[in-house]
Amino acid sequence: MAEPVLRVENVRRLFDVSKPWLERVISREKPQFLRAVDEVSFEIRPGETFALVGESGSGKSTVAKMVVGLLPPSAGAVHFSASMGGAKVRPGAIQMIFQDPYASLNPRWRIRDIIAEPMEALNHPADPAAREARVADLLTLVGLSPLDGEKYPHQFSGGQRQRVAIARALSSEPQFLVCDEPTSALDVSVQAQILNLMRDLQERLGLTYLFISHNLAVVRHMAHRIGVMYLGRLVEVQETEALFAAPRHPYTRLLIDAVPDLEQIGRDRVPVQGEVPSPINPPSGCTFHPRCPLAMEICRREVPAFDGSVACHAANDRAVSPSLA
Amino acid sequence: MATGDTGMEPVLSVRNLSLEFVTRRGVLRALNEISFDIARGEVLGVVGESGAGKSLTGTAIIGLIDKPGRLSGGEIWLKGQRIDNIGHDGLRKIRGRRIGMIFQDPLTSLNPLFRVGDQIAETILTHMPVSKAEARSRALALLTEVGIPAPESRIDAYPHEFSGGMRQRVVIALALAAEPDLIIADEPTTALDVSVQAQIITLLKRLCRTRGTSVMLITHDMGVIAETADRVAVMYAGRIVEIGPVADVIRHPRHPYATGLMGAIPALGAKVQRLTQISGAMPRLNAIPAGCAFRPRCTVAIGKCAEAIPPLVPVGATSARCWLHETPVEWSASHG
C-alpha cells in the first residue's frame, strides 16, 4: 500500500473561552477551555476521498483548519508524505474549497483575477501569458467558458460560483484538497453537478480529498472511507460500504437512522432523544453515554479508547462475539 | 373538488393564485396559477429549489405579502370562507387562530425578551375567551405535549435558555396554541441537526394526526417530504409542475424536472456511480423563458415547449405540467 498522503496523529485543539482576566480574578474562577478536537488520528491514502461527518459542534471544521494549517494544533501533529514535500509542504500543494461561494469570492475582482491569484502569489508559472492560458484551461475544466473570466462573481449563480472556487483551488496544481461542506449552500440539482464535477476531477487529476459534511447521503456518494465525529472525538472510521452496512458505534447507527430517505415513504419511527451536549462541559466518560441505548456503567467513568476503527466500550464487547467479528 | 375520498370540503383551497412584484424595471410574476387543495388532517409537501416560489405561496396564504408584491389573481378559501380579499383586520383574526405558522429559524420567531410561557399564553388570550390562569395552564399542557422536559420550570424560561431543538418545540406549541385548522411550516427542520430533525418531524406528524390539523410543509428536502407528507407539489419558477400522492411522485415522477430532481438526490440506500445532473440553474424572475420555463434545462424538450406554457394535466395518479403528457381532456373542465 502506498504511503499515506496525510497522517494526523492525536491532534487536540483547545479554545480559551474564559471570562476576561479581571472578572476572573475578582470572582476567583479558573480559566475555562473548550476541547473542540480531542485525540483525533487518521490517515488519508493518495487518490482517496476521506470524509469527516458529524453534527454541528463535532469539531470537523476545526480538524480541516488544522490540516491546512489555518489553526495550530494544541497537541499532536499533522504529517504530510514526502511527495507533498514532507515537513515543508510544497506551497500550493494543499488547497481548500469553502462552504459559501457567496462569501469566498471577492465581489470586486474579475473571475480571471480570482483564479490567477494563487499562481501570482506563488509566481508559478512566472510568465503572465502562461498564467492567462491556464486560467482559460481551468475555466473549461470546471465547465465554464473561458470568456467568463471577464465577469464578476455577482453575474454567476451559486453553482457557477462554486465552480470558480474549484478552479481557483486547482490553479496552484494541488495534490490535496480540503472541502469544507462544499455543497451545503447549493440546491440539490446544482449539488449533483458539483459532486459529479469533483469526482471527475479526482479521476483526471489524481486528487486526494478531505471531505467535510454533515450530510450522510452526500458523504456516502463521495467518500471511500468515512470518519464519524462526536463532540470533538473520532468515534468510528470505516470503509464507506462497511460503515453503512454494519455501523459499529451506536452514534453512527443513530445518524444513519435519522436521515430522512426517499426510500422510506411515510415511515414512522422512534427517534433517539436528546441533543448534542455543550462541548464546554461535556459528559464524563464516553461523551455519548447520556443518549446511548447501549450505555453501561463503564461508559460513565472511562473514555473508550479508539482501536483504529471504533471508540466504544459496547462495540469492543460485541466484537468478541463471532457474529460481529 | 379534487381531494378527499370522503367528499368533505377541503380545509384550504387555493385556486389559480398569481402574485407579482411591481418594480421600476417592470412587473415580475413570482407565482403563476397556483392551484391545490389540502384536506382535513392531510400533510401537503411543497418542494422546490431556491426561488421556486414555495415560501411565497405560504406567505401569500396568510396574507403577509408586503409591497411591492401583490396578488394579481386567484382565490384562497379556508373552510369555505374566502380569505384573500378580507383585508388587514380580517386576516389578523385568522392568523394564529385558524392558520398557525412555523418558520425556519426558531430563534427569530420567538421574542427574546419574553418568557416562553407568556408568549404562548398571549396567543391563547388574543384568540380565545379564556382567563389568564386558564391560558397559562393551557400553555403548560402544550409544552408538555410537545415534549419539553420539566415544563413546570421551563415555562418561565427565556428563549435563549433553550437549545435549537427545544426552541423549535416551543414554536410548534405556539403554532398549535389556538387550535388552528391549518399549519404552514416553512422549512421547520432546516436549521437543525439530523438527529434533532428526526425528533421534530416525528413530533409534528404525531400532533397533526391526533388533532386532525392539516399541514402545508414547505421544504427543499425531499427526504423530509417522503417521510412526512401525504401528497407533494413540486414547484419550479413560480408554477406547480407536478402534484400528486407522495409515493407516486417519488417513484414515478412524470415531469422531467421532478424526474431529474429525484435522480439528483444522493440516496442512503444504494450507491450510484453518478448522480443525475440537471444542467444550468433555475431562471431568475426577470428572465423566465417563453413557453415552458424548464425547457432550456430539459433533455426531452420538443418544439411545442418553446411556444406555449403546458397546462397541468392528470397523468396516472399525479398531475404534471408537461407537453409530453398532453391529453385530450381539457384541464379547465375537470378543474371547475
- What does the H/E/C string look like for chain A? CCCCCEEEEEEEEEEECCCCHHHHHHHCCCCCEEEEEEEEEEEECCCCEEEEECCCCCCHHHHHHHHHCCCCCCEEEEEECHHHCCCCCCCCCEEEECCCCCCCCCCCCCHHHHHHHHHHHHCCCCCHHHHHHHHHHHHHHCCCCHHHHHCCHHHCCHHHHHHHHHHHHHCCCCCEEEEECCCCCCCHHHHHHHHHHHHHHHHHHCCEEEEEECCHHHHHHHCCEEEEEECCEEEEEEEHHHHHHCCCCHHHHHHHHHCCCCCCCCCCCCCCCCCCCCCCCCCCCCCCHHHCCCCCHHHHHCCCCCCCCECCHHHHHHHHCCCCC
Please determine, for residue B19, whether its predicted confidence score (pLDDT) is greater than 50: yes
- pLDDT confidence of residue B7: 55
Q: What is the pLDDT of residue A325?
A: 30
More confident residue, A308 or B334: A308
End-to-end CA distance of chain A: 24
- Evaluate whether ipTM surpasses 0.90: no
Mean pLDDT of B64-77: 91
Strand order from edge to edge, sheet including B26-38: B26-38, B12-23, B69-78, B81-82
| Local confidence band at A213 (pLDDT 50, 70, 90 cut-offs) | very high
Among B214, B132, B129, smallest CA distance to B176 is for B214
- Please provide the CATH number assigned to the domain covering B12-98+178-265+275-335: 3.40.50.300
pLDDT tens digit string along A174-186? 999 999 999 988 8
For chain B, the average pLDDT equals 89
Per-residue pLDDT at A1 exceeds 80: no
A217/B275 touch (CB, cutoff 8 Å), yes or no: no
Chain A residues close to B227, C-beta within 8 Å: 260-261, 264-267
Task: Report pLDDT for A177.
Answer: 96
Q: How far does the CA of residue B46 sit from the closest CA of chain A (Å)? A: 15
Beta bridge partners of B243: B233, B319
Inspect the interface and report whether the beta carbons of A261 and B268 lie closer than 8 Å.
Answer: yes
> A261 in contact with B at a CB cutoff of 8 Å?
yes
> Where are chain B's structural domains?
12-98+178-265+275-335
What pLDDT does A318 receive? 55
| pLDDT score, position B67 | 84
Of A259, A265, A268, the CB nearest to B194: A259
- CB within 8 Å: B271 and A241: yes
Place of cell 410548534: B172
Nearest CA distance, A219 vs chain B (angstrom): 9
What is the predicted pLDDT for the residue at A183? 92
Chain B CB within 8 Å of residue A260 CB: yes
Q: What is the pLDDT of residue A62?
A: 94
Arithmetic mean of pLDDT, B239-266: 93
Hunting for cell 514526502 — which residue is that? A82
B13: pLDDT strictly greater than 60 = yes
- Answer yes or no: do B223 and A218 touch at CB < 8 A: no
* Distance from the B126 Cα atom to the nearest Cα atom in chain A, whole angstroms: 33
Q: What CA–CA distance (Å, rounded) separates A38 from A88?
A: 25
